[in-house]
Amino acid sequence: PRPIRLKDYTPPAFAIDEVNLDIELDPKATKVHSRLSMRRMGDGPLRLDGEKLKLLEVRIDGEKLGANRYSVDGEHLTIFEVPEGDFTLETVTSCAPVENTALTGLYLSSDIYCTQCEAEGFRRITYYLDRPDVMSVFRTRIVADEKKVPVLLSNGNPVASGKLKGGKHFVEWHDPFRKPAYLFALVAGDLAHVEDKFTTMSGREVTLRIFVEKGNEDRCDYAMGALKRAMKWDEEAFGREYDLDIFMIVAVSAFNMGAMENKGLNVFNDKYILALPDTATDADYAAIEAIIAHEYFHNWTGNRITCRDWFQLCLKEGLTVFRDQEFTGDMRSRPVKRISDVRLLRAHQFPEDGGPLAHPVRPDSYIEINNFYTATVYEKGAELCRMIHTMVGPKRFRKGMDLYFERHDGEAATVENFLDALSDGAKIDLTQFKRWYSQSGTPEVLASGRYDAARKTYTLKMSQVCAPTPGQPMKEPYHIPVAVGLVGANGRDMKLQLDGEEKPGATTRVLHLTEREGTWRFRNVTEKPVPSLLRGFTAPVKLNAHLKERDLVFLMRHDSDSFNRWEAAQRYATGLLLSMVEARASGGTARKGTGFGEMIRDLLTAKKIDPDFVAQIIALPSEQTLAQMIGRDVDVDAIHGAREELRASIAAQTKDELLSAYERMKVDGPYRPEAEDAGRRALRNVCLSYLAVAPGKDGAALAAAQFREADNMTDSIAALTVLANIEGPERIAALDAFYKRWQKNHLVMDKWLAIQATSALPGTLDEVKRLTQHPAFTMKNPNKVRALITSFASMNQLHFHDAKGAGYAFVADKVLELDKLNPQVAARLTGAFRSWRQFGPKRRKLMVKELKRIAGTEGLSRDVYEIATKTLA
Ligand code: HT7
Ligand code: ZN
């Protein structure tokens, strides 16, 4: 397959002003009659995209075309001659939703007709100019059997409906906003719905409906509340009002990703809609709120202003992630949100940026666009927006955003359009900053400070480097905003006064590292400070500040910046763990450190605590994080062993405090998903995970008791996770009881599968293989694949990297099996092999063997081919 390149972009040769679709639903042969009002815009033939379609008829201005006037292949319909002025192109095609296992285009999810058109799914519904810069007004008439398919939905507002002969009925929808085809949606089936209202800031009443499979109506309250909060927040934070009379969400069980922002008709993976306390965890509730908000926010950043081409994907995704992060920060705990976002960035984006699949936030080429819905485009893309926000502050950022909306509403825009609007509106020069969009890789910032007691100055030096990434051997310096504070011996922040400034000012300053090196001198520094650098993680970089262990202990106790307190604790624990891993490998002795345990003790016994924050700060870095830090010849057994050893030693050191906090954090009264209660449960469950390995062997009993008594899924899952990692009768009993109780609930069964797939106990791979044959599992549903196989491949480092390669062989087999059904999900799973260079020669060889087996398979999809070959390169 040939790559598509940003530099080859040319505007479309034709505009489509109006689209009229007449769709008659049938599982095996859905008939689509399309009428396109077209206009020539430039040179070139009329070549429409279309895949897996049966062409029944073509007409221009009503005249039927003979086969000599067009050609069709597996990807295009080319019309040889078209009229010079405006004309109408009609096609009649047929497709088979029931055969569509790829879940892109029109497919069936548990008897519900559903579409997924981003990025290039519309071409599986009808012939079209399926590219985001072709924007059109859609009118959609859906016809189906009235009894079997009573609900017929599409974008916009309903304008007509009625009965037809033969037990059929129709509904016609009109979407007045011009949109690209990727935002088209159709959903139809025997659905129930819940309804609410929202009054917008200008006083318009909007009907809100959430559609679900019958019987699930009582599981939508939280989602509806989250939607209303998001609508209000977008008005207050960005001045953005909803624009149609109705906003609909549909929850389906078979879905390739989390959700999709189709205009006025968002489609969701039901995992991110359905919630009741006994079936959804606190993490599920938080994800529901965040994803509902994310999709809703796309109405302005993505739909009203869309992307000119798919290279500009970060324009809508990075910006919308930034907006949803800010929303969650306002709804819940801002520091905890920042910590969890940075955790996510480091866990997924940093390895991507440092590995064979590294690409810029705005990629310059792709083979399959579905492979570019990545952590780099989404999470790093959001960090770029956040850096601009940090540099200009909230007021100027808002001015820049207002100008962006004013200039580009109704357009298909580019990253340049966004940066120009931000630059003009927020009054900032972003010329150098733009490199963040085109250079891949994670810059490293080296910092060192020197205190001069005689002159009372503190001199901070910082430098930046960025290692080569595929296709980019050299990098130009980035514009890196670094928020800095200096902490005095009393634990308080000093007021900062830089050379050349008349008086001291704020206690946190944003310094701009724009060259390869920079020096800053602070004056009137009365004692040697401990520097707190990159506060709030103001840039997506790897910072090396050469802090001593005692400085880390100091910062984890005193830093006024919550993020850096957490960061200091993580660095301290990571340092300790790395020395333990090394000791295991070399047979030497590890560094001893009781600082982490002491911090835990102090935090747990402090008078006033923020439980959610404490839960974050006392949790140990993951095995994957440690592997990433080591970077070469990673020994997964040593990492697992060291982490377990430290966990047990901390548990022994602080058992009493852990037990007492475990008791104190118990939430009384009925379950509420709100952040305050969720924070208490989070801390209680981190305590439980330590207590499980505390001396005395009563951890399993404690977990078993919690499992029996839990009145909510958060506590139940936490206990089951502990039990699933302890060999013995409690484990089997709990897994069986859980299955018996929840076997009819497919979302809860996903949790049951994932817990078993991530167990560290020996025999887990055999268990996972066995579970692929279990009735709770099917390769046809992406949630099941992710719960069992992706969890195993990406979260069970110990067993996926089994020394004999059995884990690799199993996952490679599943990639190939899945590729025949669903290439998009198969390609994601292939990503599990991307870290092969981190391991020792034996594992490297085994992983490469499997990658080559995948890449060499005949009939491979473009999706898997691209990931496998680029990973090997
Ligand atoms: N814009 C959407 C991205 C997307 C997607 C969603 C569901 C299935 C397939 C998909 N391909 C791309 C989701 C979002 O980021 O909001
Ligand atoms: Zn999105």
Q: How confident is the model at residue 134 (pLDDT cuts 50, 70, 90)?
A: very high
User: Pairing mode, if any, of strands 457-465 and 517-522?
Assistant: antiparallel
User: Pairing mode, if any, of strands 30-40 and 46-49?
Assistant: unpaired
pLDDT above 90 for 550: yes
Q: What is the mean pLDDT of residues 337-364?
A: 98
| Alpha carbons 481 and 193: distance in angstroms, whole number | 47
DSSP state of 128: B
**Ligand (nearest to CA of 382):** 2
Phi, psi of 540 (to 5 degrees): -80, 70
Is the CB of 792 inside a 6 Å radius of any atom of ligand 1?
no
Euclidean distance between the first and the last CA atom of the chain, given in angstroms as a whole number: 16
| Residue 590, pLDDT score | 84
Give residue 119 CA to ligand 2 midpoint distance, Å.
12
Give residue 183 CA to ligand 2 midpoint distance, Å.
12
**Ligand (nearest to CA of 259):** 1
Residue 317 CA, closest ligand 1 atom number: 15
pLDDT above 80 for 697: no
Q: How confident is the model at residue 794 (pLDDT cuts 50, 70, 90)?
A: very high
515-521 LR contacts (CB < 8 Å, sep 24+): 515/477, 516/463, 516/464, 516/465, 516/477, 517/461, 517/462, 517/463, 517/464, 518/461, 518/462, 518/463, 519/459, 519/460, 519/461, 519/462, 520/459, 520/460, 520/462, 520/484, 521/457, 521/458, 521/459, 521/460
Q: Ligand 1: which of 122, 257, 295 to mutate, judged by most atoms within 8 Å of the beta carbon?
A: 257
Give residue 552 CA to ligand 2 midpoint distance, Å.
37
Give residue 257 CA to ligand 1 midpoint distance, Å.
6
Is the CB of 289 inside a 6 Å radius of any atom of ligand 1?
no
SS3 content of the chain, % helix, strand, coil (to 5): 45, 20, 35
| Alpha carbons 91 and 129: distance in angstroms, whole number | 13
Q: How confident is the model at residue 107 (pLDDT cuts 50, 70, 90)?
A: very high
| Angular region, 686: left φ>0, alpha ψ -120 to 50, beta rest | alpha
Name the 3-class secondary structure at 655.
Answer: helix
Is the CB of 715 inside a 6 Å radius of any atom of ligand 1?
no
pLDDT (tens digit, 9 = 90+) per residue, 243-289? 999 999 999 999 999 999 999 999 999 999 999 999 999 999 999 99
| Residue 698, pLDDT score | 84
Give residue 690 CA to ligand 1 midpoint distance, Å.
38
19 contacts 36 by C-beta, under 8 angstroms? yes
95-100 LR contacts (CB < 8 Å, sep 24+): 95/29, 95/30, 95/32, 95/52, 95/53, 95/54, 95/124, 95/125, 96/27, 96/28, 96/29, 96/30, 97/25, 97/27, 97/30, 98/27, 98/28, 99/28, 100/52, 100/124
pLDDT above 90 for 483: yes
Q: Ligand 1: which of 260, 266, 322, 825 to mutate, judged by most atoms within 8 Å of the beta carbon?
A: 260
pLDDT (tens digit, 9 = 90+) per residue, 215-244? 999 999 999 999 999 999 999 999 999 999
Is the CB of 115 inside a 6 Å radius of any atom of ligand 1?
no
- Residues 6 or more apart whose CB falls under 8 angstroms from that of 174 comprise 137, 138, 139, 140, 156, 157, 159
| Alpha carbons 252 and 753: distance in angstroms, whole number | 20
Phi, psi of 56 (to 5 degrees): -105, -30
| Nearest CA owner, ligand 1 atom 14 | 260
Q: How confident is the model at residue 859 (pLDDT cuts 50, 70, 90)?
A: very high
Give residue 255 CA to ligand 1 midpoint distance, Å.
10
Is the CB of 317 inside a 6 Å radius of any atom of ligand 1?
yes
| Residue 594, pLDDT score | 85
| Residue 593, pLDDT score | 78
**Ligand (nearest to CA of 117):** 1
On the 0-12 / 13-18 / 19+ scale of CB atoms within 10 A, 763 is exposed
**Ligand (nearest to CA of 323):** 2
| Alpha carbons 571 and 452: distance in angstroms, whole number | 27
Phi, psi of 260 (to 5 degrees): -140, 135
Is the CB of 747 inside a 6 Å radius of any atom of ligand 1?
no
Percent of the chain with pLDDT over 90: 97
CB count within 10 Å of CB 478 equals: 23
pLDDT (tens digit, 9 = 90+) per residue, 150-159? 999 999 999 9
| Nearest CA owner, ligand 1 atom 1 | 260
Give residue 24 CA to ligand 1 midpoint distance, Å.
26
Among the listed residues 664, 529, 688, 691, the one whose alpha carbon sits nearest the alpha carbon of residue 609: 664
Is the CB of 294 inside a 6 Å radius of any atom of ligand 1?
yes
Nearest-5° Cα angle at 352, 346 to 354: 90
Among the listed residues 463, 465, 560, 478, the one whose alpha carbon sits nearest the alpha carbon of residue 520: 463
Residue 291 CA, closest ligand 1 atom number: 16
Q: How confident is the model at residue 520 (pLDDT cuts 50, 70, 90)?
A: very high
Helix spans in 622-710 (H): 623-630, 636-653, 655-664, 675-691, 699-709
- Give the type of residue at 714: T
User: So where are the chain's domains?
Assistant: 1-91+116-183, 306-438, 444-539, 743-873
Helix spans in 265-354 (H): 282-297, 313-331, 334-344, 350-353
Tokens 């936030």 belong to residue: 361
**Ligand (nearest to CA of 258):** 1
| Alpha carbons 320 and 282: distance in angstroms, whole number | 23
| Nearest CA owner, ligand 1 atom 13 | 260
| Alpha carbons 660 and 439: distance in angstroms, whole number | 50
Residue 294 CA, closest ligand 1 atom number: 16
Name the 3-class secondary structure at 356.
Answer: coil
CATH fold for the domain made of 306-438: Neutral Protease; domain 2 (1.10.390)
**Ligand (nearest to CA of 119):** 1
Q: What is the mean pLDDT of residues 702-716?
A: 97
Give residue 282 CA to ligand 1 midpoint distance, Å.
24
Which residue is catalytic, options 295, 326, 623, 657?
Answer: 295
Residue 852 token pair: 């080559």
Q: What is the mean pLDDT of residues 598-619?
A: 95
Superfamily per CATH, domain 444-539: Aminopeptidase N, middle-beta domain (2.60.40.1840)
| Residue 247, pLDDT score | 98
Cα→Cα distances 484→508, 543, 570, Å: 5, 12, 19
Is the CB of 116 inside a 6 Å radius of any atom of ligand 1?
yes
pLDDT (tens digit, 9 = 90+) per residue, 6-30? 999 999 999 999 999 999 999 999 9
95 contacts 54 by C-beta, under 8 angstroms? yes
Q: What is the mean pLDDT of residues 330-342?
A: 98
Is the CB of 256 inside a 6 Å radius of any atom of ligand 1?
yes
Is the CB of 757 inside a 6 Å radius of any atom of ligand 1?
no
Residue 378 CA, closest ligand 1 atom number: 15
Give residue 696 CA to ligand 2 midpoint distance, Å.
48
| Nearest CA owner, ligand 1 atom 2 | 260
Q: Which residues surround ligand 2, an ion (CB under 5 A)?
A: 317, 320
| Nearest CA owner, ligand 1 atom 7 | 257
Is the CB of 266 inside a 6 Å radius of any atom of ligand 1?
no
| Residue 592, pLDDT score | 78
Give residue 499 CA to ligand 2 midpoint distance, Å.
44
Percent of the chain with pLDDT over 70: 100
In CATH, the architecture of 743-873 is: Alpha Horseshoe (1.25)
Is the CB of 295 inside a 6 Å radius of any atom of ligand 1?
yes
DSSP state of 616: H
Average of per-residue pLDDT values in the chain? 97
Phi, psi of 22 (to 5 degrees): -120, 110
CA 353 from centre of chain: 16
Q: What is the mean pLDDT of residues 668-672?
A: 96
| Residue 588, pLDDT score | 85
DSSP state of 258: S
pLDDT above 80 for 691: yes
Is 517 a known active-site residue? Answer: no
Q: Do domains 1-91+116-183 and 444-539 have the same CATH topology?
A: yes
Is the CB of 257 inside a 6 Å radius of any atom of ligand 1?
yes
Helix (H) / strand (E) element for 813: namely helix 806-821
Is the CB of 261 inside a 6 Å radius of any atom of ligand 1?
yes
Helix (H) / strand (E) element for 48: namely strand 46-49
pLDDT above 90 for 372: yes
| Domain 1-91+116-183: top CATH class | mainly beta
Is the CB of 860 inside a 6 Å radius of any atom of ligand 1?
no
Q: How confident is the model at residue 833 (pLDDT cuts 50, 70, 90)?
A: very high
Give residue 558 CA to ligand 1 midpoint distance, Å.
42
